[in-house]
Structures are given as C-alpha cells and as structure tokens.
C-alpha cells in the first residue's frame, strides 16, 4: 500500500483522510462530511483494500461502493485500481451503459470489490446474479446526490439485502436531513466526522456573480470568455436542450471571434449514450478540451484537476448543486474561480446560496452593453434595485453583509407566503363559483323537466277550454266566426325564449288567470 501511495503521488493525508482511515480500519460505521475535492475516495478506498480477503478464500463480493452516476462509478473504480497497484484485486464497475454480459462474466469468475450505481446493482440482485452474503463493507459515496435524484428506495432495498453485521460508511459534501434520517436507521453508533468547517466551498475558489437580464446572458458569456481566456472551463446549464443550444451557439461564435478560435469544445448531458459521454470525459481529463458545456451530470464527484474556471450560465435551483458545481475547480487545494449569472428574478436563490456556503459572492461587471442592466429609457429593469442588484440580494440599508442575509431571505419568504395566501383565496373563490354554477345547472335541469311535464298537461287543459270557448262562440254570430277563422288561418307568432325562472312565473300567472275566468 505504501508503494502504491508513493506511486500515486500521495505524501500527506488530507483532513478527511486522516480522520476517516483510523476508525475505518477498526470496522466502525462512519458518517463523514467534507468539501468536494478533498480526497474522500482514498479515505474509504485505502482501508477497504487493506482488509480485503484474497480471492482464493472467497469468490463473492466483499465490499460494495454505491455512487450516483456512471461517470463517478468509473472514476472511483480507476482510483481504486491505482491505489491497489502491486496487489492483485478483482474489482468491477456495475453501472448503466456498460455491457451486462461483461459484468456477468466478471461475477462468474469472482470479484472482491464492486463499484456501481444503485439501479444496476439492484438489477443484479433481482436477477440473482450477485450474492451479498459476504459483504462486510458498504460505502455510500455522494449520498446526498443519490437521494436528490430519487435513489432512496433502491438504496434502502440494497441496505436491507446486505448482512446486518456489515460496516457502513456514508460520505457526502453536504448533510441534509434526509441523510441524517438514513444514518439513524441503518448505521450503528456511527463515528461522525465533519471536515467542512464553517464553509462548504473551498477557500481557494474565488466566487463572483454578474447581474444580467436573461436576453443578455449570451453576450455576457462571450465577453467573459474573451476577458478570462480560460485554460479549461465548464459551463453549467439547467436543461439538456439548453446545453445543446448553448454549445452550438458558442461553436458558431468561435469561428467569428478570433479570441475564441483556440478553444476545443464539447457538450455532455444525460441523453447522450455512454460511449460518447466516456469519450468526452476522457478528452477533458487528458486536457484535450478547453470548454465543456454540461448539465449537473458532471457536477458531482468528477475529479479533473486541470479545470480553472466554472461558469454557472443558469443558477442552480438547489444550494447543494452550487457547492458541487463550484467544486469542479480548485481541486486538492489548487486555485480556481467561479462565475454565476443572476437575473433579477433569481436574487433569492443567490441569497440562499450565500447563506448556505456562509460566504458573500463578489459582484463582478464588464464594460459594454452586455453587462448593463438599465433599460433604453434609463429606468432600472423590473425586479431590480436602483444599484442594479437583484431586489432580494441587496438588503435595505446599502451594503450587503452575511448578517443581513437572513433578514433579506425572511422578507422574501414573507412576500412569497402572502402571494401563496392570495393564490389560495382566489382558488377558494373559484371553487365556490364552480359549485354555485353546478347548483344552478342542476336546478335549471329540474325546472326544464318540470316544464315539460306541465306543458303536456297544460296543452290538454287548453284543448278542453278551447272546446268550451268554441261552444260559447257559436252563440254570437258574425264576430265569433270571423275571429275563429283568423285564429286558424293567421301564422302563430314566434315565442321569445325566456329564462327557466321567468317561464315558470308566466306559466303560473296563466294558470291563475284561467282559474279566475
């Protein structure tokens, strides 16, 4: 192990490695929190490799490492192989996009360690192609991300399928309440290690933001790339389509702008097949790419030490996603810089991020129209303060400070709650109106049914009365016969349609007048 560590370039352990390795070697359960890029893989990988039994003693898996994405599974596996140099170790990656036949062949030959995603591991368990009887160590790496993308049911099924006397290690950059509940349920008296200190993002990463209108984002991005001339940059977008569109737009502009002509670029997102995703990641690690447009598929755990810049073209909706995005630069103590584009409507998200990382982002600006937030008439754009700050990112009283951010966020929450109450009252009023309309409709149908029954009986009564009138009319000659002829020969006037209630009233009046006569 010492030879492999020297060969891999490890000299002194990081804080998380120094605190995790000793209790891990004693087979204790561990809950570890540390910033991204601090060497968590080696923290759990070294003790596992030290305690693995040789393949000659057992051919079934002894250790299982669960990660959220295929790319991270491949990266962790490569790190394990590097740490196991000089000591033959049978390990396999079990993730989607990999050939199932190859995985089945490896399991049949015998493996000591498995690195996989929850979905594929659960698939093998369902097929009964993988035995878990000899599992003595289970690792949940980037556990918060696995829960975020909906892997909690799969993780719990895997935990229940493994032996109860196992060692469980849970490591993450953030520690949301869901992680705490999971550790309380499935870990036995875990050793809790927190190396994130007061800030969850690295001190070596300079973090800045731009306030910009949505339509000015792309010109601002081009100006920023020309100013920074990054060695290697990852641009994060929120959607897969947005990633493709932005990649094509930058490619077209790079042919026109000489300052960007040197850039070799690519894009990556979840809709790409695994072969293309692997090709892009290999090019990024080899330094063959200068610019990568990506979704959060590369935001967790991907270790590329040469990334110098991060640009959040779309601000992340989740504060933890921001931490992991920014963590793609400044790896292992290196310096890096991150920029975030913030529109006027996203000020609350910026404030929440600053509260989460316990750090104020520095406002940056560029000369020219791309960075200007004022409208053509000189008035500030809607949703912005007079100074150009998003309305919820700047507290009342001038300068921004960490102490004032909770008050700003509380103000936003109060306004959001008031808006929710207004929406709820409008929804209740609409429901009452719908119920009243339904009652009116039901009442109207009942009135029409009653009119149809009354109309048939009324016609019979009219026929009888008509006969009586006819008898009386014969007593008066002349006028009575003339009136009778005109009544039969003249066309009947069209009756105006009346509302059901009015028709019913007229019918009653007609009956009353007939009874009086």
* 185 & 212 share domain: no
pLDDT classification of 55: cutoffs 50, 70, 90: confident
Angle between helices 405-473 and 347-357 (to 10 degrees): 140
Confidence band of 352 (pLDDT split at 50, 70, 90):
confident
Same domain for 181 and 55, yes or no, is: yes
Residue of higher predicted confidence among 33 and 479:
33
The answer to which of 52-66, 160-174, 355-369 has the lowest mean pLDDT is: 355-369
> Which region among 310-319, 326-335, 393-402, 491-500 has the lowest average model confidence (pLDDT)?
393-402
Query: Could you tell me if 182 and 235 lie in one domain?
Result: no
Q: Which is higher by pLDDT, 377 or 13? A: 13
Helix (H, G, I), strand (E, B) or coil at 377: coil
pLDDT of residue 337: 92
Does 114 score more than 90 pLDDT?
Answer: yes
Q: Are residues 128 and 210 in the same domain?
A: no
Residue carrying the six token digits 């400044």? 330
305 in a structural domain: yes
As a whole number of angstroms, the distance between CA 513 and CA 517 comes to 6
Number of domains in the chain: 2
Last residue of a domain, one of 138, 173, 194: 194
Residue 377 structure tokens: 């008439």
User: Does residue 67 belong to any structural domain of this protein?
Assistant: yes
Q: Are residues 90 and 118 in the same domain?
A: yes
Q: pLDDT by residue (tens digit) across 61-80? A: 999 999 988 888 888 999 99
> Which range, of 310-314, 422-426, 434-438, averages the lowest pLDDT?
422-426
Range of the domain at 367: 205-420
Identify which of 208, 206, 210 has the alpha carbon closest to the alpha carbon of residue 370. 210
Mean pLDDT, the chain, whole residue set:
78
Last-in-domain residue among 420, 443, 477? 420
> What pLDDT, on the 0 to 100 scale, is given for residue 386?
42
pTM of this prediction? Answer: 0.61
Asked if 306 and 385 sit in the same domain, the reply is yes
User: For the chain, what percent of residues have pLDDT higher than 90?
Assistant: 36
User: Following DSSP, what letter does each residue of 215-242 receive, concatenated?
Assistant: GGHHHHHHHHHHHH--SSEEEE-SSHHH
Residue 510 falls within a domain, yes or no?
A: no
| Residues linked to residue 113 through DSSP beta bridges, in sequence order | 63, 91
How far is it, in rounded angstroms, from Cα 352 to Cα 319? 7
Query: Is the separation of the CB atoms in 298 and 71 below 8 Å?
Result: yes
Element (H, E) at 284: helix 274-285
Let me know whether 209 and 190 are in one domain.
no
Task: With CA atoms as reference, report the closest residue to 186 among 149, 160, 148.
Answer: 160
Do 247 and 377 fall into the same domain? yes
The verdict on residue 426 lying in a domain is no
Q: Does the structure show a pLDDT above 70 at 270?
A: yes
CA–CA distance, 161 with 115 (Å, rounded to integer): 17
Q: What is the pLDDT of residues 369-421, one digit of tens each?
A: 444 433 333 333 334 444 444 544 443 334 566 666 666 666 655 656 666 66
Residue 74 CA to chain centroid, in angstroms? 24
* pLDDT of 501 over the 70 cut: no
Instruction: Name, of 1-5, 228-232, 326-330, 448-452, the range with top average pLDDT.
Output: 228-232
Listing DSSP states for 420-433 in one string gives: HHHHHHHHHHHHHH
The more confident residue out of 423 and 293 is 293
Flag the least confident range among 23-27, 312-316, 336-340, 430-434: 430-434
Enumerate the H helices of 110-210 as residue ranges.
118-127, 143-148, 152-161, 177-186
Domain membership of residue 451 (yes or no) is no
**pLDDT tens-digit map of 209-235:** 999 999 999 999 999 999 999 999 999
Q: How confident is the model at residue 484 (pLDDT cuts 50, 70, 90)?
A: very low
Closest CA to 121 of 96, 148, 102: 96
Q: Can you give the pLDDT at residue 477?
A: 43
Are 236 and 147 found together in one domain? no
What CA–CA distance (Å, rounded) separates 24 from 170? 11
Mean pLDDT, residues 315-326: 85
**What percent of the chain shows pLDDT beyond 70?**
72
Q: Are residues 24 and 92 in the same domain?
A: yes
Question: What six digits make up the tokens of 286?
Answer: 């080899």
Per-residue pLDDT at 21: 94
Q: Which H or E run contains 275?
A: helix 274-285
Supply the CATH number for residue 379's domain. 3.40.50.300
**How many residues are given for the chain?**
517
Q: Which of 360, 389, 420 is the last residue of a domain?
A: 420
Same domain for 42 and 175: yes
Strands 167-172 and 233-236, sheet pairing: unpaired
The three-state secondary structure class of 14 is coil
**Same domain, yes or no: 381 and 293:** yes
What pLDDT score does 5 carry? 83
Give me the pLDDT at residue 107, please: 92
Q: What is the per-residue pLDDT for 414?
A: 60
Say if 461 falls within a structural domain: no
- Per-residue pLDDT, averaged over 29-58, amounts to 88
> Average pLDDT for residues 475-493, to the nearest whole number?
46
Q: What pLDDT was estimated at residue 186?
A: 92
Looking at residue 442, its pLDDT comes to 67
Compute how many other C-beta atoms are within 10 angstroms of the C-beta atom of residue 99: 9
């Amino acid at each position: 192990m010492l030879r492999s560590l020297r060969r891999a370039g490890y000299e002194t352990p990081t804080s998380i490695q120094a605190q995790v390795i000793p209790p891990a070697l004693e087979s204790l359960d561990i809950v570890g929190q540390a910033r991204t890029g601090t060497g968590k893989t080696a923290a759990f990988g070294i003790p596992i490799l030290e305690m693995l039994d040789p393949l000659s003693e057992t051919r079934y898996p002894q250790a299982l490492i669960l990660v959220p994405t295929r790319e991270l599974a491949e990266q962790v596996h490569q790190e394990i192989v590097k740490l196991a140099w000089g000591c033959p170790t049978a390990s396999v990656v079990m993730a989607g996009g990999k050939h199932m036949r190859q995985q089945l062949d490896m399991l049949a030959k015998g493996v000591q360690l498995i690195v996989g995603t929850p979905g594929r591991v659960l698939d093998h368990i369902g097929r009964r192609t993988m035995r878990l009887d000899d599992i003595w160590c289970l690792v949940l790496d980037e556990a918060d991300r696995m829960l975020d993308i909906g892997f909690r049911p799969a993780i719990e099924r895997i935990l229940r399928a493994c032996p109860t006397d196992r060692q469980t290690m849970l490591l993450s950059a953030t520690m949301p309440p869901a992680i705490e509940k999971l550790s309380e349920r499935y870990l036995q008296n875990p050793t809790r290690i927190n190396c994130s200190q007061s800030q969850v993002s690295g001190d070596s990463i300079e973090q800045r933001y731009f306030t910009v209108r949505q339509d000015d984002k792309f010109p601002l991005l081009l100006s920023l790339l020309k100013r920074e001339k990054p060695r290697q940059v990852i641009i994060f977008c929120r959607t897969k389509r947005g990633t493709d569109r932005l990649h094509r737009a930058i490619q077209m502009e790079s042919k026109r702008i000489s300052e960007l002509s040197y850039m070799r670029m690519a894009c990556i997102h979840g809709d790409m097949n695994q072969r293309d995703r692997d090709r892009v990641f290999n090019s990024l690690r080899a330094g063959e790419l200068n610019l990568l447009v990506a979704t959060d598929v590369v935001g967790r755990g991907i270790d590329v030490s040469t990334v110098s810049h991060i640009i959040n073209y779309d601000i992340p909706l989740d504060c933890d996603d921001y931490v992991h995005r920014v963590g793609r630069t400044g790896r292992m103590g290196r310096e890096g810089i991150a920029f975030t584009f913030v529109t006027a409507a996203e000020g609350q998200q910026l404030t929440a991020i600053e509260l989460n990382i316990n750090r104020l982002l520095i406002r940056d600006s560029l000369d020219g129209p791309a960075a200007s937030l004022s409208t053509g008439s000189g008035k500030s754009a809607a949703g912005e303060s007079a100074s150009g700050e998003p309305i919820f990112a700047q507290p009342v009283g001038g300068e921004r400070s960490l102490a004032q951010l909770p008050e700003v966020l509380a103000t936003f929450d109060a306004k959001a709650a008031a808006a929710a109450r207004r929406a709820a009252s409008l929804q209740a009023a609409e429901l009452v109106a719908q119920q009243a309309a339904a009652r009116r409709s039901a009442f109207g149908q009942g009135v029409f049914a009653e009119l149809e029954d009354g109309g048939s009986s009324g016609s019979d009564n009219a026929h009888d009365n008509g006969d009586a009138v006819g008898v009386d009319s014969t007593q008066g000659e002349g006028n009575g016969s003339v009136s009778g002829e005109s009544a039969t020969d003249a066309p009947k006037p069209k009756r105006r349609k009346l509302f059901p209630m009015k028709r019913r009233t007229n019918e009653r009046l007609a009956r009353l007048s007939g009874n009086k006569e």
